[in-house]
Structure 1
Amino acid sequence: MSHTCGTPTVSPIQVVQRAQLRAEAAIEPDAPATGPVTKTTQIIAIYGKGGIGKSFTLANLSYMMAQQGKKVLLIGCDPKSDTTSLLFGGKACPTIIETSSRKKLAGEAVSIGDVCFKRDGVFAMELGGPEVGRGCGGRGIIHGFETLEKLGFHDWGFDYVLLDFLGDVVCGGFGLPIARDMCQKVIVVGSNDLQSLYVANNVCSAVEYFRKLGGNVGVAGMVINKDDGTGEAAAFAKNAGIPVLAAIPANEDIRRKSASYEIIGRPGTQWASLFEELATNVAEAPPMRPKPQTQDQLLGLFSAEVTGRDFQMEPASLFDMVGQHHAVKPSLEVVYDKV
């Protein structure tokens, strides 16, 4: 570019670009919308101990919601990628992470049809995770959501988006919906055993922690799965200040049908009313600030015979560690007199 008297010459292209920018800046923005909200998507994250029955609960819940006329998206966020197996009759759903890697190597872009599948009105997909020993599951979750955003996640018109998360892993990736306000509310799935309630309590603690930092996510309630009537999970929910959304009984018919990948949350069937009530409660339950319990409070839900909490800890001695008594040696620490 030539210069005259130290002043740079403006090219014709720059003149046109500046004119376009001025014209764009002169356009008045659209007025803010003042009419009623026509579509509100509830994004709900479901947490629970591995093997507690989250996938079973979510497959039947999402199916019932779809039969009630709701548009539902179920996203599996567990590295095991088994959230949608019950929904699809035991068939494995291609994961977003695996598909994304394969498409990238082939120089192709991921499309909705590559990762999202449907059954009777329920849309479902699996984020997936890295191979064993080859990466962090939490990082896989973050990568999966980044891919979803590229696919237009925030523009999809669903009534409900249900996220199935592993609850017994304390990791930034698995805590993403709570930490970044990516969902409106959380539901915990537990049972009448200490370990599942310990996980549920950890989730409540995470929610309360981020609420204190200005977050907005709350706990909508608990689903008690394999309920044998002993009452520990219901007592935990009461103490934590969250409602019980449904209690799914420990029933042989439910266990057998679930094991054979059968949906029991169908209208008109034996268990329909249970999942109809759960669907209503999930939709209407407001996000609440939970009251996380201490370790002693959790143990107090169970009898001493179950937890062994009447055991008294005995301090170890140096003799226990080395097998002989040692004379206490004076310290070489220098202590200065106060001036």
Structure 2
Amino acid sequence: MTKTQGASGTALLSSESAVAEPRTTAEMDARLRVEAAKDPDPVSTAPVTKETQIIAIYGKGGIGKSFTLANLSYMMAQQGKRVLLIGCDPKSDTTSLLFGGRSCPTIIETSSRKKLAGEEVQIGDVCFKRDGVFAMELGGPEVGRGCGGRGIIHGFELLEKLGFHDWGFDYVLLDFLGDVVCGGFGLPIARDMCQKVIVVGSNDLQSLYVANNVCSAVDYFRKLGGNVGVAGMVVNKDDGAGEAQAFAEAVGIPVLAAIPAHDDIRRKSANYEIVGKPGGDWAPLFEELAQQAAEAGPQTPAPLTQDALLGLFASEAVGRDVVLDPATPEDMCAGEVLEKPSLEVVYEGV
């Protein structure tokens, strides 16, 4: 099994100081603002210490990461693997499909409540099980009351306190939002917290734009000495148009699975049903995805330029034939532009 960084490598998350814990919402908000101003730590170069495959899944919001992960984790568990699924999306909806629509108490919310009560967070407060899958949600701050990326960093700090580096799982699957580019969401890539990334996309420009951004991040940090690579792409809601497959080929990553845009999948997913069950109609698809996710090696992608990305689509689909027409001062003033005296100071003899 592939190795990953242990406690000395991924503790790159700064430990909390001896300063008294905040007891009020105002104190907690003040601490979040201070934390949000901190720069991320450099890429880890510490020795590896344990053997667990940690895989980060990225994709555009709404593209089907949670659907893919719920079914993938369920199938892996049914194959006898010990699997931990961690939702790292502030929406906290990664585990909702797994638990039939029910939401888990998030780590950040639970930690805040316990701190105000002077209590310690226990693993049973934040981690829950279904048919062999262990799952939890990091959560995030309420709108306008903190930084989502810094919340993720704080969430992993709490996981370390709960013994994250001593847990014995075969696979840890991390669900990350790919639309957001601030430091916390790039944590697995920037700090070598996982061995590989899987991107989820579809045959649409916006999801492939996000996938290309993730490939750019991986390429950037590998050039800085990082080790995380892209294992491949899952094409969700595949309608056969082919743009996602063309993207994967262009950046140099394999397609691990293509999940069709099928009404049975859509209906069952909307009803919070797991479709990746052994013996089910879609079992072979997720059995193959489980094998590919486990065995696909980390690749160095070659991210595309914006023009190359647009080139994967027909011009009428993305407006590639549109010409940029520069605006003039007259346009901006909706009429005639009045010449005004310059305020520039001119020094004679200079």
TM-score in terms of structure 2 length? 0.83
CA separation in 2, counterparts of 1:310 and 1:271? 41
Aligned pair partner of 1:170 in 176, 181, 188: 181
User: Equivalent residue for 1:92?
Assistant: 103
- 1:34-53 maps to which residues of 2 (within 5 A)? 40-53=51-64
Q: CA deviation at 1:334?
A: 5.2
What value does the CA root-mean-square deviation take over the aligned residues? 1.8
Question: 2-side partners of 1:295 and 1:85: how far apart?
Answer: 35
Q: Which residue in 2 is equivalent to 1:113?
A: 124
Aligned to 2:198: 187
Counterpart of 2:298, as a letter, is P
Does residue 284 of the first structure (1) align with residue 291 of the second (2)? no
Letter in 2 for 1:104: K
Q: Distance in 2 between matches of 1:54 and 1:151?
A: 26
**Cα–Cα, structure 1 residues 317 and 120, in superposed 2: closer, same or farther, change >3 Å?**
same
Of stretches 306-315 and 62-71 in structure 1, the one that deviates more from structure 2 is 306-315
1:265 matched to which residue of 2?
276
What's the offset of the Cα at 1:329? 6.8
Structure index of larger Rg: 1
Q: Deviations over 1:188-237 (max 9, x none)?
A: 00000000000000000011111111111100000000000000000000
Distance in structure 2 (CA, Å) of the matches to 1:257 and 1:85 = 13
Name the SS for the 2:324 alignment partner: coil
Q: How does 1:207-246 map to 2 (within 5 A)?
A: 207-246=218-257
**Equivalent position of 2:207 in the other structure:** 196
Partner Cα distance (1:327, 1:88) in 2: 67
Query: How far is 1:337 from its partner?
Result: 8.9
**CA–CA separation in structure 1 for the residues paired with 2:132 and 2:144:** 36
The 8 Å contact of residues 43 and 183 in structure 1, kept in 2 or not, is answered as: yes
Q: Name the aligned partner's letter for residue 324 of structure 1.
A: E
Unmatched 5+ residue regions in structure 2? 1-47
Change in CA separation of 1:336 and 1:156 when aligned onto 2, cut-off 3 Å: farther
Question: What amino acid does structure 2 have at the position aligned with 1:234?
Answer: Q
CA contact (8 A) 1:39 1:159 kept: no
Q: For residues 278 and 334 of structure 1, what CA distance do their matches in structure 2 show?
A: 70
C-alpha separation in 2, matches of 1:47 and 1:55 = 10
Matched residue, 1:314: 325
Distance 2:150 2:280 in 1: 41
Structure 1: state its 5+ residue gaps. 1-36
- Select which of 65, 68, 73 maps to 1:57: 68
In 1, Cα distance between equivalents of 2:130 and 2:109? 22
Q: Deviation per CA, 1:162-205: give whole Å up to 9, x if none.
A: 00000001110000111111011001000000000000000000
Equivalence for 1:104 = 115
Q: Which amino acid aligns with 2:328?
A: S
Going from structure 1 to structure 2, the CA distance change for 1:110 and 1:332 (only over 3 Å counts) comes to closer
Aligned 8 A contact 1:39 1:157 in 2: no
For the residue of structure 2 that corresponds to 1:108, the secondary structure is coil
Amino acid at match of 1:116: C
Q: Is the 8 A contact 1:207 1:289 kept in 2?
A: yes
Shift, 1:315, TM fit: 1.1
Structure 1 residue 325, shift from structure 2 partner: 3.7
Aligned to 2:336: 324
Deviation per CA, 1:129-161: give whole Å up to 9, x if none. 011111111111001000000001011010000
Total equivalences in the alignment: 302
The reply on whether 1:249 has 2:256 as its aligned counterpart is no
